[in-house]
Amino acid sequence: MKKTVYILFLVFQLICLSGYAIDNQDSLALREELKSLEKLSDESMEEGDYEKLEGYVFRKLEISYALKDSLLSAKFMFQLANVFANTLRSAEALTYFHKSLKICQKFNDSSFLGDIYSKLGLIYAETHVYDMALEYLKKYLEIAKSRGDYEAEVSAELTIAMVKGELYEEKNDTVSLLEALKKCEEVFPKLSRSGYDFMNFCINVPNMYIKGMEFSDETRAKYFLEKADEIYCAGLPLTKQSQIFYIYMFQTKIALFCAKGNFVEAKRSLDAFKRDSETTNYIYVNAACTYYKAVKDYPAILKYTSELRKITNLNFSSDMCAKYERNQQQTNYENTIANYEKQAKERDFIFKEESRRAAIQNRWLLGIAFFAGVIVLIVVFQFVSSSRVNKSLKKTNEDIRFRNAKLQELQDRILQQTEEIKSQNSVIEAQRNDLQQINEHLISSLKYAQRIQRAAVPSQEMMADIFPENLVYWQPRDIVSGDFYWAAQDSSRKYLITADCTGHGVPGALLSMLGISVINDTFSVINSQMTAAGILDILKDKFVESWSKGQGNIEDGIDMALIVVDKNTGLLQYAGAKRPLIMVRGNEITQYKPDKLCIGYNIRKEHKKFTNHVIETCKGDMFYAFSDGIPDQFGGDDGKTKFGQRVVEELLANISDLPMGIQTSAIKANVQNWMNYNGLKVSQLDDQLLLGVKI
């Protein structure tokens, strides 16, 4: 009897442990699949097949979720972000780098954190968000110093110097660019001649030296060219070992040929280069832009610049400033999708937990039932004549039936919940797809409308032909703009219009196209004797006439500043419809006030005429006109203060003697800094437009 009971006890233990053995077996199978996927991933990386590599990494990420290994998930998110970065999908790369970072910060893995900070810095640098790039690279440098990792410290210092060089190169900050180059020269001897950082140095730093030649005298320019050639030649041996390094060095090669004036060899190299992948196509377009800018082939510059924007999605810099500066509609859309996904994951988690508990309970009940059945058989066999045993057996059977009924009830409830979750997931997926299609359609339509609107205003070449020294700062709020500008010239005079239509976005853009049409119609009939005020009077009448063709008078219109410059006498005429004209002569600023009329229907002022201002100009005088978008923009220390007319005038007075490109950068930097409140981006309230011309 004792031996029988002992055997039954062992059988019961085996039944209880069977469930855990099954789970452990599933875990081992998943880890075996991971090993296989790691091998396939390495092969795809060597072949440069990023499409296959992406599929393998996604599968590895799914397995890590199934294994509930957070650190392993962070590792595969990091790998997936690298795939997106190598295929020029910066937005997806940033998303997964940040997800990986969030997990690693919980584990405080300094080595892994350093790698993520380094990659984030490089991605932000590639998308021209330099402040974010430098912030993450400095964190990478701090980790390297704390770990005593000399190679990582040198790598971080080098990358920071190169990013600063690119930043100062974009801002035309000559002094800071030279400091960055000096730092690169200090770090260069410390680099290993076979590492990734040395390759990166040989690709990027020669281009910094070539850019520095534009701001240097003959002696320094010659030195910079020699240094660029020296670093390029130092990297040439590695091109035989790495095909991808050879591809990236090609752009540097074309830049050096152009800097040396060897345009024939540069063109021959371009023609021989194979564009057989996304990466090689990107490198070729970059190199082509460099070459055609050097030979001043403007049609080709426009062609390849446009192609480069399509490849690199340069609008991503403003969308990404991003992840932190999205408009409210996009934010609401993403929050809605995130809530749907969160609810779906919570329901899926509940379903899996209930299923797991039900499975465990089933195994336990089956084991208990089996054990109880064996005991009943033994008891019946040995004590068949005992009424006490019969009662116990009856009670045991009733308990088993009760448990089976409860188990069946639980299974029915789980199946019902499963069907409900599936139905809700289908609804969520359909809503998500509808929202995504609507958003994509709206964005696509607005971008196409933007192309139409930009085609209607003067091109940069046309502006340079009419006013050789000019600046245009144009920042629409919602892709298309209610602000626009217009310029033209005839045999004796030059004309420039700065216009601000009622509203912004699509309504403002429609009104701006009507305004451009009315302006073109008006200037086809004016003569050289008409004053600026007379032209505005005609524009107002024609605009009102265009509106009157509809149903009633619409109290929308255009605020406008018009200047007319006589080519022979140098006299400048100005007339303004609610928009002033600013003149800066030396360090003195003069404001010419507009009339309180708009180009449109003016209640109680239908017959009032515009005032004509005549100004005797001097060589070097700067004239500025702008919409109300910059003065009315909120920001500052509290995020609630307007930029204001006085601050605009002070800014223009301070920058008026600088080159036009630097003036444009200064205006952009001041406006963007004003809109940053404690590190947060204040929403842009209206379209922003500022034009300037030098006499």
3-state SS string over 289-357? HHHHHHHCCHHHHHHHHHHHHHHHCCCHHHHHCCCCCCCHHHHHHHHHHHHHHHHHHHHHHHHHHHHHH
Q: Using CA atoms, how far apart are residues 547 and 558, in angstroms rounded to an integer?
A: 12
Residues 6+ apart with CB under 8 A from 65: 73
**Residues 60 and 77 sit within 8 Å (Cβ to Cβ):** no
- In eight-state DSSP terms, residue 276 is -
Q: What is the pLDDT of residue 664?
A: 95
Residue type, 67: L
The C-alpha angle with vertex 671 and arms to 667 and 677, in degrees rounded to 5, equals 155
Instruction: Determine the number of helices (DSSP H) and then strands (DSSP E) in the chain.
Output: 22, 15
What local confidence, expressed as pLDDT, does residue 460 receive? Answer: 93
- Check residue 596 and give its pLDDT: 92
Asked if residues 562 and 531 have their Cβ atoms less than 8 Å apart, the reply is no
Low-confidence ranges of the chain (pLDDT < 50): 2, 5-6, 9, 11-12, 14-22, 314-333, 335
Q: Write down the pLDDT at residue 151.
A: 66
pTM above 0.75, yes or no: no
**Which residues, in sequence order, are CB contacts of 364 under 8 Å at separation 6+?**
16
> What's the pLDDT score for residue 317?
44
> What's the pLDDT score for residue 642?
94
Q: What are the start-end ranges of the H helices in 496-571?
A: 505-523, 532-548
Which residue has 């920058």 as its token pair?
655
Could you give the 3-state DSSP secondary structure of residue 429? helix
Task: Count CA within 13 A, CB hemisphere, residue 214.
Answer: 12
d(CA 234, CA 205): 12
Reading the block at residue 285, the tokens are 């377009």
Residues 6+ apart with CB under 8 A from 193: 234, 238
What is the DSSP pairing of strand 493-501 with strand 571-577?
unpaired
